[in-house]
Structure 1
Amino acid sequence: MTYVRVNYKWNYICLLVDLFNREIIGYSAGVHKNAELVFDAFATVHTDLNRIQMFHPDRGSEFNNQVIDEVLDVFHISRSLSLKGCSYGNAVAESTFKIFKSEFVLGRNFESLAKLKLELADYINWFNNFRIHSSFGYLSPKEFKASKL
């Protein structure tokens, strides 16, 4: 989860990243940093949630609560929390957010939440389908995944 400026106020973005190919499989944006934002990100996942084996969030209360517990229970997803104070426990997500902030967020102030959501959807489409990653032999996340299936 990270924050962005919308009309000069903080708003939040939640990204769900697939560790296999670093594809952003779920996302949401909203005014509050809470479980609803995480739930909304899960609602955008286009793959069968029963195929997800592990959810590896940080230790924030927005990830560890009854709402998210119910989602994980329904789809039989295990949770693996990072060690307290250990940034390496969630290194792929941290790396993705570094890229995301430098390419999408840096220095921007979105005029409205609706505009942020529209541009976020475009960015994620580009990130997943067109942005190449050196760690995948200069393939996009979707190309890399297709090459392994």
Structure 2
Amino acid sequence: KKGFQINHKTVYKLMKEMGLKSIVRPKKYRSYKGNIGKVAPNLINRKFEACKPLQKLATDITQINICGEKIYLSPVLDMFNSEIIAYDVSRNPDFNQVLNMLNFLFKIMPNGSNAVLHSDQGWQYQHKRYQHLLKEKGIRQSMSRKGNCLDNSIMENFFAILKSEFVYIEDFSNVDEFISRLDEYILYYNNKRIKSKLKGLSPVEYRIQSVS
């Protein structure tokens, strides 16, 4: 926003001079089990562009290790502007977490929207109740193919940003502090963090501009 444009090679050179290194991400949490590829088609098919808000959505669950505990984040991302429009944080990756996430999502989704909600083939998304709740709300379910992380790369990209900008570089005294500051980070990500593909605007700024 201040008008500074720096080549990625310059950034690499400065990082090298200052002894800065990126942190290697740990192995991804995976929730595959049960049937594979028999619940929902891949409606997104790697076409992550959307013409308007709440048209194409993505979700996933990531594991975060904090203070010796495993914490799980289940967000919903709007593909129109990469805004996190709903999420739940839990110590257990159980179905209640996904239900809580859906409850937050349904508060802002109109009935019969015909939106698409894309995920991987995690067991939570194969659950009959999950399928029923989406259908009842008028949301179409979409699933990645097994073993194709690029099918939900837009969600993977958000997790990479979250962990490299926040999780891996901050210190937390306990899990409660982490959760509180995670709320603050998501608020920052949605409202303040600019993205080049959004014309230098934050997700919320881009959404507001698009409907004004």
> TM-score w.r.t. structure 2 length?
0.64
Counterpart residue type for residue 69 of structure 2: K
Find out whether 1:5 has 2:65 as its counterpart.
Answer: yes
Residue 127 of structure 2 aligns with which residue?
Answer: 65
Find out whether 1:78 has 2:140 as its counterpart.
Answer: yes
Residues 138 and 3 (structure 1), Cα distance of their counterparts in 2 relative to 1, 3 Å cut? same
Count of aligned residue pairs for this structure pair: 149
Residues 85 and 140 (structure 1), Cα distance of their counterparts in 2 relative to 1, 3 Å cut? same
Residue 47 of structure 1 aligns with which residue?
Answer: 108
Structure 1 counterpart of 2:79, from 5, 8, 19? 19
Counterpart residue type for residue 47 of structure 1: I
Name which one, 1 or 2, has greater alpha-carbon Rg: 2
Structure with the bigger percentage of helix:
1
User: SS of 2:88's equivalent?
Assistant: strand
Residues 109 and 67 (structure 1), Cα distance of their counterparts in 2 relative to 1, 3 Å cut? farther
RMSD across aligned positions (CA): 1.9
How far 1:74 moved relative to its partner?
1.9
Residue 30 of structure 1 aligns with which residue?
Answer: 90
1:30–1:113 Cα contact (<8 Å) kept: no
Measure the CA separation in 2 of the matches of 1:91 and 1:16.
13
How far 1:111 moved relative to its partner?
4.4
Measure the CA separation in 1 of the matches of 2:123 and 2:197.
32
What's the CA shift string for 1:3-38, capped at 9, x where partnerless? Answer: 112330212111110011100011111111122112
Measure the CA separation in 1 of the matches of 2:171 and 2:73.
14
State which drifts further: 4-13 or 108-117: 108-117
Q: After the TM superposition, which residues 92-103 of structure 1 pair with which residues of structure 2 at under 5 Å, given as runs? A: 92-103=154-165
Measure the CA separation in 1 of the matches of 2:209 and 2:170.
35
Counterpart residue type for residue 103 of structure 1: E
> TM-score w.r.t. structure 1 length?
0.89
